[in-house]
Amino acid sequence: MKPKVLVIGGSGFVGKHITKRLSALNYISIVPTRHQKLINIIEKNSVSKAMIIQAISQANVDEVIKTLQPNDVVINLVGVLHAQNILPYGPEFQQAHIDIPIFVMNSMQKFGLKRYIHMSALGADKYGPSMYLRSKGVAEELVKNSGLDWTIFRPSVIFGPDDSFINMFGTLQKYFPVMPLSGAGNLFQPVAVQDVAQAFVAAIEMLTTIHQSYDVAGPEVLTLKQIIQFAAKKQGLSRPVIPLPKWAGYLQALLLEKVPGKTIMSRDNIASMKLPSILPQGQANALSEVFGVSPTPLDSLLK
């Protein structure tokens, strides 16, 4: 009998693709949410069961985990991109990237569960250049010392038809005749969300992936400028991209942090881009080498 799979963060971008794949393979998936109004929406997304969790705390996470059996699986996808600019990282990163994994792993240990699959990021390092990468790096260390049967995935930027990265920059270019861009030459290796989802689900019962960390990326290395130009092309547009010097990019990010509404770019994003989000030179891509997935190119979004 297949194990049940608790997908924490299962209502998000990557989570929706993972739960759909779980359903296609006849797994029972469970997605917790703090929002009652999302229950029906989540369950329409091929999720077997959605359940309410109140404010995030150890006790409330215990209430979720204790409904599972020892052979069931926990996938943690929770992540945020922005936080208050506080060293070593802001409270939003502390809660999402560190506190929640601690609560989950404590509960798993308490109730006898072992299999834990964790979402991290390429470049995660507790000594990294950004709050985002430092908090992700601390979490990786906690996972590796948990005593659980863990697997860690470290993807580059993830794209898909419903992503917030390509679509956001494409929408912006509808309204601006030129695109001033900080970090235009920074390197990424965009990976398709369906490829990431396939690897996560495959890892559930692949015993060889226990106690392994996998860098996953797409088939091509692109600059941020090339990605932004692709976002315009996807919208049927062509916009000149104006690379900004470092000081101007920092100022741009600072101003964007102050704009009301959803944050587009932050100073911490600029700091993260000090490291290329690509596979180390000579390293095989785990997608193909371990999980048998042929990495999908970015231009698949045009089809």
pLDDT tens column, 94-153 = 999 999 999 999 999 999 999 999 999 999 999 999 999 999 999 999 999 999 999 999
Instruction: Please report the pLDDT score of residue 145 as a whole number.
Output: 98
Mean pLDDT, residues 217-243 taken together: 91
* Structure letter (DSSP) for residue 277: B
Question: pLDDT tens, 45-57?
Answer: 778 888 888 788 9
Q: How confident is the model at residue 260 (pLDDT cuts 50, 70, 90)?
A: confident
Spatial neighbors of 135 by CB under 8 A, at least 6 apart, are 88, 89, 93, 94, 96, 97, 98
DSSP3 helix / strand / coil % (the chain, rounded to 5): 40, 15, 40
What's residue 23's pLDDT? 93
Structure-model confidence comparison of residues 153 and 180, the more confident one: 153
Task: Please report the domains of the chain, with CATH numbers, ordered by start residue.
Answer: 5-159+191-217+279-296 (3.40.50.720)
pLDDT recorded at residue 247: 84
Q: Please state, in angstroms and rounded to a whole number, the distance separating the CA atoms of residues 176 and 243.
A: 15
What's residue 263's pLDDT?
80
DSSP 202-240: HHTT-GGGTTEEEEE--S--EEHHHHHHHHHHHTT----
Instruction: List Cα–Cα distances, 291 to 17, 28, 95, 210, 215, in angstroms.
Output: 17, 22, 31, 13, 12
Average pLDDT of every residue of the chain: 92
222-223/187-188 β-pairing? antiparallel
- Can you tell me whether residue 263 is helix, strand or coil? coil
- For residue 98, the number of C-alpha atoms closer than 13 Å in the C-beta half-sphere is 19
pLDDT > 90? residue 178? no
Provide the whole-model pTM.
0.94
Confidence band (pLDDT; 50, 70, 90) for 258?
confident
Q: What's the pLDDT band for 34 if we cut at 50, 70, 90?
A: confident
pLDDT in tens, 65-110: 999 999 999 999 999 998 988 989 999 999 999 999 999 999 999 9
Indicate the DSSP class of residue 37: G
The alpha-carbon radius of gyration of the chain (Å, integer) is 19
